Structure 1
Amino acid sequence: MKAKLLHVLGGGQWQLPTVRLAKALGHRVLVSDMYRERPAYALADEHEVVDITDCGATLQLASRYRIDGIICDTTDVGVATAAFVAERLGLPGIGYETARNFTDKGRMRRLTAAAGMVVPRYRLLSSAAGLTAAAAEVAYPLIVKPVDSQSGRGVSRLSGPDGLDAAYRLARSCSRSGEVLIESCVDGSEIIVDGFVVAGTARILGIARKVPFADSLTVSSRIHYPGALPNAEFERIRATVCFTLSVLGLQDGVFHAEFMLSGEHVVPLDIAARGGGDMIYTHVLPHISGVNVNQAMIERALGEPVHINPLAVPRAANIEFFSMPRGTIAEIGGADAAAAVAGVVAVHFNLQAGDEVGPLEHKDRRPGYVVSLADNPAEVIEIARRAISLLRVRMAGDDGFTSIG
């Protein structure tokens, strides 16, 4: 029997686990990406240089190769393209309109508000006309962000009108559609909910609490999966998550959602129909839930049966982000020692020697993070701290190494 051909959108480092796993499962893999040099090309059976945001070009490519399934499980920018191609070729997918509901924050806000959910006050702008009035209607403090970006790019938090024009221009520059969302800040505790939907039934695989940096409230310094939650709190979250997914139309597939626990309300902030970044999808979820979500997504894309059976009591995990002094990185030390700490599964650097450490404008400007796994929620944080304490950095112009915070 001929091996099935899986089309993976994106050929960067975050697609490597999907390509490796698909190959290990006996499938052939086609990778497409807009860049000519990508690490996943070396692992794939075939690769082509095609922009994954271009639905038409990707459809032509997929048709030419006669693919058996298509997947975009780690980046928002290709989710709608994968859905479009699957729909046109009669392959398993979430549906193009559903994909747009999850990748356009304006649509997401309109749909959840129309369904009667508690959502932030918001206004959508396609030009700077009416910017000041829209901000006044929403009321400060507020968030200005593009409707269709990711990783916090182009997002600004304003406590007053100073910087409003600059925040709008930044958001507009990061918006592929040119539309900008202005919304109120919601007080409370921010959480992440990860899970999988099978035939319309959502299974929650992990709930994490986010802790922001003190000097950048839109960027997390820690993502902590404590394991089991009190039943009442879990049920309140579960009910809101299931209703939100139903409103947005997700019937099958992975999801990564951000909510704010604000009093008695669970307020949707952002929901993605893809796996969570920072190794949540590939490392954290299999540990805390016992479910290989990556394999489930591959099976679903290829039309194979999917079984989601999480552990009765979830385990704990932690993603701890570290900081560095401002300036140019000359050298990083201690990475091997940090990675060798028991319970650490990854020490990842977003920035390398020669890169500039600047303000935390968005998530990808964090220097890096440590992923730790354990059964105990307190232990998993201590493991991460122990690993980070071993890291050192030498900045350009300095004679010696300093600790990483």
Structure 2
Amino acid sequence: MIGQNNETAAAKKRILILGGGIMQLPAIRIAKAKRWYVAVADGSDEAPGISLADRFFHVDLKAWEAMIDAAEVMRKEGGIDGVFTAGTDFSLTVARVAEKLTLPGISVKAAMAASDKALMRRTLSDANVRVPRFVQLADGEKEIPKELSYPLVVKPVDNMGARGVRRVDNDEELSSALDDAFRFSRSGSVIVEEFLDGPEFSIDALVEKGQVRFCGIADRHITFAPYFVEMGHTIPSSAPADMIEEVKGEFLKAVEAIGIDNGAAKGDVKFCRGKAWIGELAARLSGGFMSGWTYPLSSGVQPTAGALNIAVGLPANLPSPVRNHTCAERGFISIPGVVAAVESLGKARAIKRVKEIFVLIEPGSEVNFPVNNVQKCGNVLASSDRRDQAVSSAQDGAGRVFVRLVPGEKRTGVFLFGKKEAWIPDAYSLSCEENCAELSRLEPIYGVGKRPSAPLSDSIALASLPILRSEAAVDWHGLGLREGFDRLLALTGVSAMDLQKWRMSGQDGLLLGSLFWRAFLRGGIQGGVWIIDTVRSWRERDIDYRRELQIWENA
């Protein structure tokens, strides 16, 4: 990987990096590789980047006055040459510190426009940059102008990661979405804007004395409407050249209009009705693994190194790309519950072309089906000189990681057997009539003996369906139904048997029928493994499955 050392000019530079989390690790590591003095500020004293830093300030990133105090301490202790962040909401804090200490950076005015979605849209609109039509609402307000027609999108003005962002199609949905968005807004303000349907792109760029250098344009893969969950991105974009030029042109106009003249810029741009529209523009490099991992893997160049140089007043010194690979990032997610273990990581890492796996959960973590980008369980990155190989490897890796959930948890049971939320698709659906007919005939459990929880032996088997190989459904990670079922058998050690053969064989254990298939079709491998683990726990604790199932179904 090509970096930008420029060691003579950069010797002994001292930089304050806001954030010590995963997304800031590339900046911390690169600055240390340059032999700079690195101070890290973070609201958590357990951030992973702290151990790499020379100095740590335990400061909330939004507390800009306290951050200025920390920078002043750093200056008194030996000097400060720059302040920097990537992948956080706090470019405004960076600008305030830079202005107060006369450090390189953009103006506070520009940072404010890049940090507040309403101010950003007004600034861009005034400069004839295309943005969706919108209205800003203060906490408690719910009236929107008649010229805004459904479908609409509700967003907090000052949050990232798609938190509190939702599409709405009627007044009832608007009211509940506004309640959610206000909860995620630090300032108590939201925007409601027209929904633009079309492909979406992420852009990273460096800006040096007003000159913009693009550092990657990626296709974003947005799922789970009415929410906007990015299940991954692929870089470089596969969009036609004329579309990319239109997107780049509108982005350049937006960067100039906001006033980002020295630093970094990150944009989310939609292509709709033959034109590019600015969705977001931030005065920083992106989170979501693009600037720190996928663009470097794709190009061989580290944009973070150039951004750090600019932050301390040095030339960006960013070389041209040395390779033209595709890098694909794919997230892995979970159904609701509590994590018991994260399994099969070794198998996922062994997949050819997988470069990195990030696990964001641990045993005891509460997990949910994601409604934003911070609720995913982890991410898999793969790279290749062939686009199809990079995509398939990342997807296979994400599908291979298995998040096992604590058995018997009510939230998991309600998700699998209770009233469905319509926006969450089933992991699998059956299309073959023979399989559907067989499933309709199955009872929940066979072989429970005199007491529902006490079979005559400890064995568990699954009632098989006649032609699983003919089912074409894939789950949220792209894993086929038959492959998922086979993988479940390996994870649990149970076998699958035809109901009639099971009866004729004289088996005296349990055969899970529709109880298993309901869980598997709704929740995929996770749901199927969970119900098997739960049945095993029921037997240990002498619990009646019918009572538990009734609780879940009626919740």
Q: In which range does the TM-score fall when normalised by the shorter chain?
A: over 0.9
Question: 2:318 maps to what in 1?
Answer: 308
**AA in 2 matched with 1:138:** L
- Residues 227, 315 of structure 1: 8 Å contact kept: no
Q: Which structure features the higher share of strand residues? A: 1
- Residues 389, 404 of structure 1: 8 Å contact kept: no
1:73 to 86, 94, 106: 86
Shift of 1:122: 0.4
Question: 2:216 maps to what in 1?
Answer: 206
**AA in 1 matched with 2:26:** P
- Residues 211, 223 of structure 1: 8 Å contact kept: yes
Shift of 1:354: 2.1
What CA distance in whole angstroms lies between the structure 1 residues aligned with 2:174 and 2:103? 44
Shift of 1:118: 2.6
In structure 2, do the counterparts of structure 1 residues 313 and 44 end up closer, same or farther at CA, with 3 Å as the change threshold? closer
Does residue 33 (structure 1) correspond to residue 42 (structure 2)? The answer is yes
What CA distance in whole angstroms lies between the structure 2 residues aligned with 1:228 and 1:140? 30
Shift of 1:351: 2.9
Question: 2:488 maps to what in 1?
Answer: none
CA offsets per residue over residues 328-358 of structure 1, 9 Å max, x none?
Answer: 2222211122123232121122333222332
Question: 2:114 maps to what in 1?
Answer: 102
- Residues 347, 371 of structure 1: 8 Å contact kept: yes
- Residues 84, 96 of structure 1: 8 Å contact kept: yes
Does residue 16 (structure 1) correspond to residue 29 (structure 2)? The answer is no
1:238 to 235, 248, 257: 248
Shift of 1:133: 3.3
Between 1 and 2, higher relative CO (CA 8 Å, sep ≥ 6) is seen in 1
Deviates more, 1:106-115 or 1:333-342: 333-342
Question: 2:143 maps to what in 1?
Answer: 132
**SS of equivalent to 2:279:** strand
Question: 2:257 maps to what in 1?
Answer: 247
Shift of 1:211: 2.1
- Residues 331, 398 of structure 2: 8 Å contact kept: no
Deviates more, 1:65-74 or 1:215-224: 215-224
2:130 to 82, 106, 118: 118
Question: 2:395 maps to what in 1?
Answer: 385
**AA in 1 matched with 2:281:** I
Question: 2:103 maps to what in 1?
Answer: 91
Question: 1:195 maps to what in 2?
Answer: 205
1:341 to 319, 344, 351: 351
**AA in 2 matched with 1:102:** A
Shift of 1:56: 1.7
What CA distance in whole angstroms lies between the structure 2 residues aligned with 1:206 and 1:10? 23
1:82 to 94, 97, 106: 94
In the TM superposition, 1:161-172 aligns within 5 A as 161-172=171-182
Structure-2-length-normalised TM-score? 0.68
Deviates more, 1:237-246 or 1:391-400: 391-400
Does residue 56 (structure 1) correspond to residue 65 (structure 2)? The answer is yes
- Residues 15, 84 of structure 2: 8 Å contact kept: yes
- Residues 87, 288 of structure 2: 8 Å contact kept: no
**AA in 2 matched with 1:300:** I
Question: 1:142 maps to what in 2?
Answer: 152
The alignment's C-alpha RMSD in Å is 2.3
What CA distance in whole angstroms lies between the structure 1 residues aligned with 2:235 and 2:310? 26
**SS of equivalent to 2:144:** helix
What CA distance in whole angstroms lies between the structure 2 residues aligned with 1:356 and 1:265? 41
Shift of 1:260: 0.8
Shift of 1:140: 1.4
- Residues 15, 39 of structure 2: 8 Å contact kept: yes
Shift of 1:214: 3.8
CA offsets per residue over residues 140-190 of structure 1, 9 Å max, x none?
Answer: 111111101111112122111113333222211211221111111111111
In structure 2, do the counterparts of structure 1 residues 295 and 313 end up closer, same or farther at CA, with 3 Å as the change threshold? closer
Shift of 1:404: 6.6
Larger Rg: 2
Shift of 1:313: 7.3
Shift of 1:283: 0.9
What CA distance in whole angstroms lies between the structure 2 residues aligned with 1:71 and 1:356? 32
Shift of 1:124: 0.4
CA offsets per residue over residues 206-246 of structure 1, 9 Å max, x none?
Answer: 21112222455411223112456543223222211111111
Counting aligned pairs with the same residue, the percent is 29
**SS of equivalent to 1:53:** coil
CA offsets per residue over residues 74-126 of structure 1, 9 Å max, x none?
Answer: 212x2111111112211111121111111110111101111223321100012
What CA distance in whole angstroms lies between the structure 1 residues aligned with 2:101 and 2:312? 13
What CA distance in whole angstroms lies between the structure 2 residues aligned with 1:397 and 1:328? 9
- Residues 292, 304 of structure 2: 8 Å contact kept: yes
In the TM superposition, 1:243-392 aligns within 5 A as 243-311=253-321, 314-392=324-402
In structure 2, do the counterparts of structure 1 residues 139 and 348 end up closer, same or farther at CA, with 3 Å as the change threshold? same
In the TM superposition, 1:178-189 aligns within 5 A as 178-189=188-199
**SS of equivalent to 2:400:** coil
- Residues 331, 378 of structure 2: 8 Å contact kept: yes
What CA distance in whole angstroms lies between the structure 1 residues aligned with 2:526 and 2:331? 10
Gaps of 5+ in 2: 1-7, 409-459, 461-490, 493-523, 528-555
Shift of 1:28: 0.8
What CA distance in whole angstroms lies between the structure 2 residues aligned with 1:278 and 1:31? 20
Structure-1-length-normalised TM-score? 0.92
Question: 2:467 maps to what in 1?
Answer: none
What CA distance in whole angstroms lies between the structure 2 residues aligned with 1:214 and 1:74? 23
What CA distance in whole angstroms lies between the structure 2 residues aligned with 1:359 and 1:389? 15
Does residue 158 (structure 1) correspond to residue 168 (structure 2)? The answer is yes
**SS of equivalent to 1:74:** coil
